[in-house]
Amino acid sequence: MVHFSTRAILAATRSPEVHQAPSAIPIYQAAAFSAADAEELGDVLTGARPGYAYSRIDNPTTAALGAAVAELEGAEAGLAFATGMAAIHAALVSVVRAGQTIVATQAVYGTTRDLITRILAGLGVAAEFVDPTDLAAVDEALDRSGAPVLYVETVSNPTIIVSDIAALADVAHRHGALLLVDNTFASPFACRPIERGADLVMHSATKYLSGHADVLAGVVVGSRERVDACRPILVDVGGALAPIAAFLVLRGIPTLAIRMQRHSETALDLAAWLRNQDMVERVHYPGLPTDPYHAIAVRQLDVFGGMVAFELSGGQTAGQGFLDAMRIAERTASLGAFRTIITHPPSTTHRQLDAEALKASGIAPGLLRCSIGLEDVEDLREDFELGLAAARQAVAVAT
């Protein structure tokens, strides 16, 4: 008979037998998994046989998330990460080497630009930024640089430029480059870049995939070969996703279609309304027939999405006045949640960019980026009316 402490350990760690399928993916909140013998442990750790040994390497719950997003995207394989930036980092580092160049969209998330121009540049990787809608410029940049990577966003952050994924894939592959696509703003419900020729697709699963603003996560999907090339970076750099976080994203995915439909319907309504407001100089939303990317969006997106950007006359003063007046919308830098979120990109998500870089990226001083939530559209319109009135007042006081 073993003693009490030993019995307590054995009793509390004995896995129950479950013969019926659970209605949700279980949370395998374990740092390690025990093998039957030394041979099995060695085989699992070296990949000679499937299984789990240590959750930094793999975990059943996080593996389920990667597989689920891959299925939604029409990809062979998927890999879950601690954050979207960890996923983007792994995707890029799996392809590019010191002395090579990344050709990337000029309109790109500020932290992604910082990763490319500061972190990877410090490791000897060059960067060239181009207008993704100018296919001739993209072709020229790839030809001149010999870059192994073309990096774009399906819908750009924050200026809502819609990239033609199929056309860009053709250009990239003609030069022997891989096309990497951040599909966060669209979600796999709106667009599946793998089906249009992309090689790797990344998500900040924090956003629409989760939808609840309570978890950080990222995912990379693509061919098994390309995803397998990302795995050593995940394992060795330590970007593993916690099982509870994977569970929270998996919880959100079943309602993705319903949420994206509501986000899109409300966003289109507000974008059309904003176009007619006197403080608004320009509205960026591909669902508007007058938007320069409407034709691409109609061809490529199943819904136009929940992201709207608009430029206020009066610049940053007007933008700050608008934000300060919000009663329903949240003032923060995230997106893709059930609640409407508004941010001022020049001072938040793209704060790393100087005035010249902001201008080159098409980010006006008075630009506001809105992630439209699931609230009733009438209430959001009333909230925006308060914001516009406050913006007028702020500009009047300043002048």
Catalytic residues: 56, 109, 182, 207
> Pairing relation of β-strands 280-284 and 307-312?
antiparallel
DSSP state of 302: S
Strand spans (E) along 287-373 = 307-312, 330-331, 341-343, 367-371
- Tokens coding 284: 């960026």
Which strands sit side by side in the sheet containing 77-81, from one edge to the other? 77-81, 218-222, 200-204, 178-182, 149-153, 101-105, 126-130
Residue carrying structure tokens 């100089």: 281
Coil, helix or strand at residue 8: helix
Q: Give residue 159's identity as a one-letter amino acid code.
A: T
What residue type is assigned to position 52 of the chain?
Y
Q: Strand, helix or coil at 324?
A: helix
Which element (helix H / strand E) includes 201? strand 200-204
What is the full DSSP assignment across 231-247? Answer: HHHHHHHT-PPPHHHHH
Give 347-354's long-range contacts (Cβ < 8 A, gap of 24+). 347/316, 349/109, 349/110, 349/111, 349/157, 349/158, 350/109, 350/110, 350/113, 350/158, 351/110, 352/110, 352/111, 352/113, 352/114, 353/110, 353/113
Closest to 344 (Cα-Cα) out of 301, 312, 297, 299: 312
| Residue for token pair 């933008």 | 319
